[in-house]
Copies of this chain bind each other. A is one copy, B any other.
Amino acid sequence: MTSRYEQAGVSIDAGLKAVSLMKEAINKTHDSNVLNGVGAFGGLFSLGDKLKNITQPTLIASTDGVGTKVILAAALNQYNTIGHDIVNHCLNDMLCAGENIQPLFFLDYVASSKLRPRMIAETVTGMAEACQASGLALLGGETAEMPGVYQPTEFDVVGTIVGLIDQKAIYPRPTMQVGDLLLGLPSSGPHTNGYSLIRHIFRYTPLHAEYEEIGLLGEALLAPHRAYLPELTALKSAGVVVQAIAHITGGGLVENVPRALYDFDDLTVRIDRKSWPTPPLFELIQHKGKVDNMEMLRVFNCGIGMVIIIPANQAELALTTVDDGRIIGQVIQGKEIEWV
């Protein structure tokens, strides 16, 4: 016997099953700041001790998706990494705002035309794992069955992150100047950008195709977005001064590095394109898609997922602290980004 509501395409039981599967992973992200079991209509997060030593408490918040990388996950029937993608994408964006940011919590939305418990549970479990790794509480979320809205096997994932920062610690530091260096940290793949173009380029290539340089195409493309919190924490512990940070997302280095300098109208950057090797996956994308160099740099991170701007005298300390970082350019006078 099914209710009329189920006949209309909404299965309440499937949703409940998924919720129970992921509950354990979510609970691991909760500490005493999460007022669990209190308040039934929203997540409650006590600021309590978080406000200590902050003179101008400011919340930072960002909502985002992972783009059409969800299509690859659906095609491969692998969802856990998408959970890591959405959390780490939001986290890295947030970390660009300033010094000593305290990650507070994350909320998620997962929707599909038909709820499949394993899909929801894997996605949310991946989110919970990524939240736990970065000290974020997975505070709440919504799982929506939307018959008729999504393509049959597709789904979408949306995340919102909230953190706390002292207003006086917002980047860029006023000491930013010509000669500061760009410390580039490697990406783990295209992260969450450029997937519509990637899918277009590989539209006739099966995801299980194997390439010598990258292994299985599908797996290489699904590599989860790396979180840069450990590197930033290490740099801070080592005493490295950070002037500003750019998370390299849609728009690539071309658009995102200048965003980090927004307060300085007369400063731009010179980037040495030969200072880091292009990872094989990006070479394959460029070759197969006949994409020109500049569009590669506008659409993809091309191997650099985060750029940290540091004073020139900090380079040695920074490079010994973050062993896979490299100097990829410098701050210069001017308006337009320069490529050498």
Q: Is the CB of B7 within 8 A of A200?
A: yes
**A322 within 8 Å of B (CB atoms):** no
Listed stretches A142-150, A223-231, A310-318; interface member: A142-150
A interface size (C-beta, 8 A):
84
The verdict on A200 contacting B46 (CB below 8 Å), with A96-B41, A160-B160 known, is no
Q: Is the CB of A41 within 8 A of B68?
A: no
Q: Is the CB of A45 within 8 A of B59?
A: yes
Closest to A141 in B: B63
- Whole-angstrom CA separation of A162 from B171 in the bound complex: 24
- Nearest chain B CB to A124 CB, angstrom units: 12
- Whole-angstrom CA separation of A59 from B61 in the bound complex: 13
Q: Is the CB of A150 within 8 A of B147?
A: no
Q: Would you list which residues of chain A between 64 and 78 have a CB under 8 Å from chain B?
A: 64-65, 67-68, 70-71
Copies assembled: 2
Q: Would you list which residues of chain A between 1 and 24 have a CB under 8 Å from chain B?
A: 3-5, 7-10
- Nearest chain B CB to A171 CB, angstrom units: 7
Partner of A35, one of B108, B167, B197: B167
**A295 within 8 Å of B (CB atoms):** yes
- Whole-angstrom CA separation of A147 from B158 in the bound complex: 16
11 contacts between A and B (CB under 8 A): A4-B295, A5-B194, A43-B60, A44-B60, A48-B57, A59-B59, A63-B109, A65-B109, A68-B149, A107-B160, A149-B155
Identify the interface centre among A43, A46, A150, A158: most chain B CB within 10 Å of its CB: A158
Kindly list chain B residues whose C-beta atoms are within 8 Å of the C-beta of A161: 42
Identify the interface centre among A42, A60, A151, A289: most chain B CB within 10 Å of its CB: A42
Q: Is the CB of A59 within 8 A of B104?
A: yes
**A97 within 8 Å of B (CB atoms):** yes
Q: Would you list which residues of chain A between 217 and 274 have a CB under 8 Å from chain B?
A: 247, 259-260, 262
- Whole-angstrom CA separation of A105 from B251 in the bound complex: 27
**A319 within 8 Å of B (CB atoms):** no
Q: Is the CB of B56 within 8 A of A46?
A: yes
